[in-house]
Amino acid sequence: MAEENPPRPVPEADKQAQVDSTPVTDKSYTPPRRSRKRRRNVVILAAIVLVLVVGIFLWRYLSSYESTDDAQADVHLYPVSARVSGYVIRVNVNDNQWVEKGAVLVEIDPTDYQVAVAQAQANLANAEHTAQSLNITVPITSVNTSSQLASASSGIEDATAGVRAAEKQLTAAHAQLQQAEANDVKAQDDLHRYKLLVDKREIAPQIYDQALASARSSTATVVAAGANESAAEQFIRQAQSRLTQAAANQKSAETGPQQVLSTRARVRAAIADVQQKRALLEQAELNLQYTRVLAPVTGEVNKTVVVGLNVQDGQQLLTVVPLDEVWVTANFKETQLKNMRVGQRANIHVDSTGQTLKGHVDSIAGATGPLFSLLPPENATGNYVKIVQRIPVKIVLDSGENRDRRLRPGMNVVPDVYFH
């Protein structure tokens, strides 16, 4: 029995030709090539839409903040210097040691300053006693001046009355002298007449003797009256001398108020001296306190002083770094500051630790960085080349962000400032 011939394989080209020549009976039928092309177009369109959406979101995200790598951590360094000169006897801290505000860092030998305080106290006590004694003298001088002035006025009145009384006595003595001289003239005339009569023996000798005695008595009365007049003149001169002395006393007493003012001025000078001595004592006490050098703030210490060093007034001994007060200085380009405002939040990426700290914009500098340099640029001199300038922006960390104090001044950081 003869074998049947096996069927021949149909080539793929013939199969495709058979398919293409097959009459179409279903209108919804789509050839495989066209279907793949449509799916490819849909995928491309979806990819384009996805790229646009991602691009829009990426553009909005990138435009919502500004970043710069020209930034570093900053802090105010507190140099601690000696306020008095002397020999260092004790240093209570080591390098990089954490200290609290008010802690005693360095001690200077206080012996010389203790002696200065004792001397200032003695000078103050002496000045206070001097002022006290002068203050007591003021009322005494015032009372003495008043009494001297009253006594001088009374002395003038008494001396004036004495001069007037002496003048009256002189007038009376002069009148008595004139009366005595007149009586003497009459007595002498009577004696002369009685002499002639007694020589003629016309009267008794006894009458002549009586006239002679009367004449001699009147002569003595004239002499006495002259002496009284001289005495009265002397009394006048004495009274005038007492008046002159009383006037001098009054002038001296009238200077009493000036003496009181002078005494009060000395008291004020003594009080001022007391105040000066008290100020010197306070200064000496302050210098004694300055022998103990204290930490101005809380922070970490970097010292350059050792025991045995003779320091001078104003010499720097240590530096305190307050790590709790660190901030970030970011030098943004001027083109990045369009939407930047104070108070905007910021993320700070620390290069050394990889941490991201939170903060906010505290302030923006009032000028670009070059203007604060020693020799700022002058565009008016030489050829001008426009260069984008940078402006320092101060970013303050939020509370508790640098709790571990790993962010140190001078470290490089990358801040991102968000506008929303």
Residue-level pLDDT at 49 = 83
Kindly indicate whether the domain formed by 79-110+289-319 is annotated with CATH number 2.40.50.100: yes
- What phi and psi, each to the nearest 5 degrees, are found at residue 382? 85, -170
The candidate with the shortest Cα–Cα distance to 243, out of 170, 147, 155, 169, is 155
Residue-level pLDDT at 22 = 47
CA atoms within 13 A of residue 323's CA, in its CB half-sphere: 18
- In the chain, where are the structural domains located? 65-76+322-418, 79-110+289-319, 113-281
Residue-level pLDDT at 376 = 78
State the CB neighbour count (10 A cutoff) for residue 282: 13
Residue-level pLDDT at 333 = 92
Residue-level pLDDT at 58 = 72
Are the C-beta atoms of residues 268 and 188 closer than 8 Å to each other?
no
Q: Which residues contact 396 (CB under 8 A, 6 or more apart)?
A: 327, 328, 359, 360, 362
412 DSSP 8-state letter: B
In one-letter notation, the amino acid at residue 212 is: L
What is the strand order of the sheet 65-67 is part of? 65-67, 413-418, 345-350, 356-364, 390-397, 327-333, 71-74
Q: Which residues contact 145 (CB under 8 A, 6 or more apart)?
A: 253, 256, 257, 259, 260
> What CATH number belongs to 113-281?
1.10.287.620
5 DSSP 8-state letter: P
Is residue 227 helix, strand or coil?
Answer: helix
Based on its alpha-carbon atoms, the radius of gyration of the chain, rounded to whole angstroms, reads 63
Are the C-beta atoms of residues 224 and 152 closer than 8 Å to each other?
no
Tokens of 38: 């449509």
Q: Taking the model in full, what pTM does it have?
A: 0.59
Residue-level pLDDT at 21 = 47
State the CB neighbour count (10 A cutoff) for residue 260: 20
Interatomic CA distance for residues 117 and 225, integer angstroms: 84
Q: Are strands 98-99 and 299-303 parallel, antiparallel or unpaired?
A: antiparallel
Interatomic CA distance for residues 161 and 385, integer angstroms: 110
Answer CATH for 65-76+322-418 from 2.30.140.10, 3.40.30.10, 2.40.30.170, 3.40.50.300: 2.40.30.170
- Kindly give the confidence (pLDDT) of every residue in the chain, 420 residues in length, as a single tens digit, with 9 standing for 90 and above: 344 445 555 455 455 444 444 444 444 555 667 777 788 888 888 888 888 878 877 776 666 788 999 999 999 999 999 999 999 999 999 999 999 999 999 999 999 999 999 999 999 999 888 877 776 665 655 655 666 666 666 666 666 777 777 777 767 777 777 777 777 777 777 677 767 776 676 667 777 667 777 777 777 777 777 777 777 777 777 777 776 776 766 666 656 566 666 667 777 888 888 899 999 999 999 999 999 999 999 999 999 999 999 999 999 999 999 999 999 999 999 989 988 999 999 999 999 999 999 999 999 998 988 887 777 777 766 677 788 889 999 999 999 899 999 999 999 999 999 987
